[in-house]
Amino acid sequence: MNHRKRPKAGQPLDHRDSPNYFLIIGGGISALMAALILVGYVWTPYNTTEMSGGAKFLSPCLAHPLGTDNFGRDLLSRIMEGAGSTFLIALCVVLIGGVAGTIIGCLTGYFGGAADAVLMRVCDAITAFPSILLALVLIAVVGMGKQQIILILGILFIPSFARVVRGEVAKQRTQNYVASARLMGASHLRILFLHILPNTVPVLLPILTIGFNNAVLAEASMSYLGVGVLPPDASLGRMLSESQTYLSKAPWYALFTGLAIVLMILGPSLLTEGLQQRRRRG
């Protein structure tokens, strides 16, 4: 059997031998939240909209592991539904912003010219305003609801993806493998989407994670302000807003709701960092 040689006394350890804690912890948190969300789509311990006057503000117990809220609704059930709603909205926002931004960034970064200048100025105009403020203005125009939030946030997230992809594509197009592909007669679209785009994946991965985290925060912030997911559907942001009134009476309400939002962001962030560390170690 082949065994890895142990380092001699005083010899530094090989970093490839050290455990990747980011990957382990991030993977564990992400798996926990994924399981909670997936189960919540098909089953919850209680009806998330069922109210019970006799069960108001129950502290965590066997019947209600996370306690109940001001209407006697089971917090675990509502957090499961709210996390699933937030995840679905964030995922759709990232898909819209990521796909559209990647296409725009690829085309402008590769071809340049007048289209590049115009589209980048449009991106500058969108990013010049705070995204939440601009989202609130657009919601006042198109109305509230899940579909409206997904569409508005998806459009607002396009510039951030477009800028990153544009810069990476502009750098990649000067590489030797692109010149070789041109000499072999490959079309521009083939070079762009089959040669250059795959080489932007290491840059896209952290951007997608940041985009997802920002989408989670944006949805939670809008629901917190009362213009996001509409009741009676559960929403982590709205639940956090409601829990503030009862901090002294039912602290678990705010604690568990806020913890769910934190874990939804922390898990993918640590997991992405762990994957990048693993790639750097080879």
Per-residue pLDDT reduced to its tens digit, 70-128: 999 999 999 999 999 999 999 999 999 999 999 999 999 999 888 888 888 888 888 88
Report the sign of the C-alpha dihedral through residues 44, 45, 51, 55, in that order: negative
Kindly report the average pLDDT of the chain as a whole number. 90
pLDDT in tens, 137-150: 899 898 888 999 99
Counting every residue written for the chain, the total comes to 282
Q: In whole angstroms, what is the distance from residue 237 CA to residue 244 CA?
A: 11
Sign of CA dihedral 30, 83, 60, 35: negative
Q: Is the pLDDT of residue 12 over 90?
A: no
- For the record, the structure tokens of 174 come out as 């000067």
What are the distances in angstroms from CA 29 to CA 32, 44, 89? 5, 20, 20
Confirm if 107 and 161 have CB atoms less than 8 A apart: no
Is the distance from CB of 33 to CB of 83 less than 8 angstroms? Answer: yes
> Do residues 266 and 29 make contact, with C-beta atoms less than 8 angstroms apart?
yes
Distance separating alpha carbons of residues 84 and 126, to the nearest angstrom: 29
CA–CA distance, 66 with 198 (Å, rounded to integer):
44
Mean pLDDT of 31-45: 96
The pLDDT assigned to 1 comes to 47
Residue 11 has pLDDT above 60, yes or no: no
Name the band, by pLDDT with cuts 50, 70 and 90, for residue 7.
Answer: low
pTM metric for this prediction? 0.90
